[in-house]
Amino acid sequence: MSPRYDVPKAAPEPLRQVQLFVNSTDVEHGADWLPDWLSERGLAGELERARGLREALRLLVLANNGRVVDGDALALVNAAAARLSIRLDASGALSVSGRGDALDEVVAVAFGAMLDGTWGRLKACRNCHWSFYDYSPNRSATWCSMQLCGNRTKTRAYRRRKAAR
């Protein structure tokens, strides 16, 4: 089970599912919960496909922080998108759905969020790369948590300034 310190910055459903998938690894401490995530969804044999997709989506989330999108990540997500179905409903809205498994659904939700404008609020912490949802009015949040990464960053900056005096 992944840690729960992201709950205050949890994305609204269904984008929360993408956030949980991206956060199925703790980059900072080297923990990987992806095998558990896959077995809960009956996809234990898809570990390599899931790892590649997770990292590609993480790079796209990091791009929401202003980073350049990696070409290999784009190619992998575009290949996954080929498995999606896009439809126009009676109200004229586009809907995106996966045709197969839970990984297809994660990609469908990501593309749906890109269409409805909520994707840009899903960001990755510049320190630990943990995915969080930016609830700030001006979309300027940069840390997963002020108590964790924000505090670490500000403390380091304070110590550097103090040592420079």
Tens of pLDDT, residue by residue over 15-59, are: 999 999 999 998 878 899 999 999 999 999 999 999 999 999 999
Strand pairing category for 84-88 and 131-133: unpaired
Burial class (CB in 10 A: 0-12, 13-18, 19+), 132: buried
For the entire predicted model, the pTM comes to 0.86
Q: Give me the residue spans of the domains in the chain.
A: 10-164
What is the residue whose two structure tokens read 């984008």? 15
87-132 tens-digit pLDDT: 888 888 888 887 789 999 999 999 999 999 999 999 988 888 889 9
DSSP state, 90? T
CATH architecture of the region 10-164: Orthogonal Bundle (1.10)
CA distance 152 to 142: 13
CA distance 20 to 119: 14
